[in-house]
Structure 1
Amino acid sequence: MPLSPSSAVSGWLLVLLCAVSGAYCLWRSGRSDGGPAAAGDAVMGLGMALMAVPLGTGGGWQTPLLGAVFCGAALHAAWLLRGGLHHAHHLIGSLTMVYMALAAGSGAAAGQGHDHAQGAGLPLLTGLLLVYYAGYVVLGGARLAAVGEGGASAHPAAAAGPAEVIKACRLTMAMGMLAMLLMM
């Protein structure tokens, strides 16, 4: 089933946003202020970019490759949980990506294609994930807006430091996850 032009454009915009966020996190993971969380964010952003590529009919290689990558990311996030619950979002994100890869694979097997895997997921689980990511986006956006208001100066962009850029990248990836879940 061919993609409509608007669907293809929005798909490529999602790819671009996730790839830029993932690339920034990858760059940050090599710096002293990076670390395991930055590496996890990089895997998530770049994997989401790969999953969001509008292929139309889907490829048989995507489900096993993405499933393996995100299962590995989930194991890594589970390992990091021993240091505190602040890595729980990475675990939820990785498991969500495994779920979407499997759902997209089952939709492609049913002839619906990668980008049209309606009905391939479990409605209750998809609904719970939508609620989680919608809440994450709303709360994350409100926190970023509060930081912007509190640090307002003649040049508001100058007030944004690395911590705010990291939060904006995570917010972008959560919005991407929300969009991908809505497309299921």
Structure 2
Amino acid sequence: MYEPASPGWLLVALCAATGAYCLLRMRSPVEEQRHTAGAEALMGFGMAAMAVPAAVVAPPRWAWLAYVTVFGAAALRGLWTARSSPHQLHHLMGAVAMVYMAAVMTFAPAHHAHSHGGAGVPLLTGALLLYFAGYVLRSGVRLLPLPATGGGGAGPGAGGPRRGSGADAWGARRAVRWGDRPELSQACRLSMGIAMLAMLVTL
């Protein structure tokens, strides 16, 4: 599961930055967004810790068991919430992937785990790779800018600001906080999907 030091640290930085942004999203006034951001923050920081190059820190076996416990509980919660929210299915898949990688590292021989990763089940690894590859492609497509539609602003007064609307517009811009911008949230999910792919490839 470990790359050479430089790519490994880049992966750590990417996952940690994503987790930190998800913490900001937890300040959202929308309860569902707070729960989603909390799950994604846990995933981001967990992936960052797991991606630390083995040449710098060689985790003991109990650390991998802790990963299995924490993300096993997250997977059970995701399984429960996925019944009412299909979006939670992706969180469930992410937690399952973390449990799988941590379990592989737990039961791998010490010299193998500290050098090139564990020896995972090829079929399960391949299934997870296919899922996250599809998720990354889908997320990337959703981030593409949509073509401008004609006629949307052709009505009278549609283009210029109206009298007395400056305060309302300023308030609306304030309401769109960094933590509530859907394109940034989608970019974070895309980043974590790419990071998960990189970790699964080296398993």
Task: Normalising by structure 1, report the TM-score.
Answer: 0.83
- Tell which structure's C-alpha radius of gyration is larger: 2
Match of 2:9 in 1: 12
| Uncovered stretches (5+) of structure 1, i.e. residues with no partner | 152-159
Structure 2 Cα separation of the partners of residues 146 and 59 of structure 1: 45
| Uncovered stretches (5+) of structure 2, i.e. residues with no partner | 150-177
Q: Indicate the structure whose relative CO is greater, using CA pairs within 8 Å and at least 6 residues apart.
A: 2
* Alignment root-mean-square deviation, CA: 2.2
Structure 2 Cα separation of the partners of residues 39 and 12 of structure 1: 23
Q: Greater helix percent: which structure?
A: 1
- Amino acid of the structure 2 residue aligned with 1:41: E
Conserved? CA contact 1:67–1:102, under 8 Å: yes
Matched, 1:178 2:197: yes
Match of 1:113 in 2: 113
- Amino acid of the structure 2 residue aligned with 1:87: Q
- Residues 74-101 of structure 1 show CA distances to partners (whole Å, capped at 9, x for unaligned) of 1221221132211100001000100000
Conserved? CA contact 1:54–1:115, under 8 Å: no
Task: Normalising by structure 2, report the TM-score.
Answer: 0.76
Deviation at 1:59, TM superposition (A): 2.4
Q: Percent identity?
A: 44
What is the aligned residue count?
Answer: 169
Conserved? CA contact 1:140–1:167, under 8 Å: yes
Matched, 1:63 2:64: yes
Match of 1:156 in 2: none
Point out 4+ residue stretches in structure 1 off by more than 3 angstroms: none
- Amino acid of the structure 2 residue aligned with 1:168: A
Structure 1 Cα separation of the partners of residues 74 and 114 of structure 2: 22
